[in-house]
Amino acid sequence: MNTQMTREEMIEALRWQIEAGADEAILDAPIDRFAEAPQAAPQTTPKPQTQSTAPKPQPRPAAAKAPPPPKASAPAPATPAAAPAQRNAGAHELAAGAKTIEELRAALQAFDGCALKATATNLVFCDGNPQARIVFVGEAPGAEEDRQGMPFVGPAGKLLDRMLDAIGLDRSQALITNTIFWRPPGNRNPSPDEVAACLPFVERVIEIVDPAVLVLVGGIASKTLLATNDGIMKLRGKWAAFETPRMSRPVPTMPIFHPAFLLRSPGQKRLAWRDLIEIRQRLDAETGTGA
Ligand code: URA
């Protein structure tokens, strides 16, 4: 069979990979998966085949046949809150030892338990005020955050700033962080292992800041910290409670749409606005003074 691709097919295949999020080289040298294909043919089905389902070498997918690229807002895999705690006992210990946000940052710098650290340019941890009464937890750094080592500084971050401004807040009155502290290559969704590795540090941020209100920005943060498989469409706009054994009380917690989602779906801004008003009112009620 002729597996030679035309130039146009190669360009289409590359475009398909970029749209699917594979926009970075992870290894120094390319791997020719076609060359591997004959050995890789699975031999795992002992049952006789009644019809010919044996895998045939496939030509490179043309764009028309390609599956749709995963959306950046695709729901997260099953929540890592159920991930075995013993798998990252070291992370728990390291996080628990930090008494301030800066100590926690230093602990994360020394932490090698998340594979994303190897491919990221910078640690992206917190921005804002550790004394703030409100904490926002997003998803994971994107390209701009990775470059600058700061959360929410790309296009979604600009919209998050406008969302804060809409309720009279700025970064000096909020603490902003993420569920994941290193950029997943190509902005893919973080894996359950990656989320589990970072979770003790996210929890410790909330314990240290001890906010009056917690805002979970997008589906991944919401599922992770609320330990649920419900999606953001169901969770947004409803008050929940977040607590760890080291906290003296549960924190009122509101999931909201992620600004990256709102950039793609501006029609949903109406609901986001409603949620922001709720958050502002709760913050005022909890603090008695406004932020
Ligand atoms: N999206 C996030 O969830 N966090 C960031 O820091 C940037 C984009």
Reported as a single tens digit per residue, the pLDDT across 252-262 is 999 999 999 99
- What is the pLDDT confidence band of residue 208, given thresholds at 50, 70 and 90? very high
- In degrees to the nearest 10, what's the CA dihedral of 264, 270, 271, 272? 70
Q: Has this prediction a pTM greater than 0.75?
A: no
Whole-number average pLDDT of the chain: 82
Q: Of 136, 139, 257, which is best to mutate to test ligand 1, by the most ligand atoms within 8 angstroms of its C-beta? A: 139
The residue among 217, 240, 220 whose CA lies nearest residue 231 is 220
- What is the pLDDT confidence band of residue 37, given thresholds at 50, 70 and 90? low
Mean pLDDT of 114-137: 98
Ligand 1 neighbourhood includes 190 CB (under 6 angstroms): no
DSSP annotation string for 199-242 = HHHHHHHHHHH--SEEEEESHHHHHHHHT----HHHHTT--EEE
Reported as a single tens digit per residue, the pLDDT across 239-290 is 999 999 999 999 999 999 999 999 999 999 999 999 999 999 999 999 997 4
Share of the chain above pLDDT 90, in %: 68
For residues 133 and 22, give the distance between their C-alpha atoms in angstroms, rounded to a whole number: 39
Domain 83-287 coded CATH 3.40.470.10: yes
Higher pLDDT, 185 or 40: 185
Identify the pLDDT of residue 123.
Answer: 98
The residue among 50, 35, 262, 49 whose CA lies nearest residue 155 is 262
Identify the pLDDT of residue 33.
Answer: 62
Reported as a single tens digit per residue, the pLDDT across 1-32 is 556 787 777 767 765 654 444 545 555 566 66
Ligand 1 neighbourhood includes 152 CB (under 6 angstroms): yes
What residue type is assigned to position 99 of the chain?
A: K
Give the Å distances, CA to CA, from 39 to 2, 42, 107: 18, 8, 44
Q: Of 123, 137, 145, 232, which is best to mutate to test ligand 1, by the most ligand atoms within 8 angstroms of its C-beta? A: 145
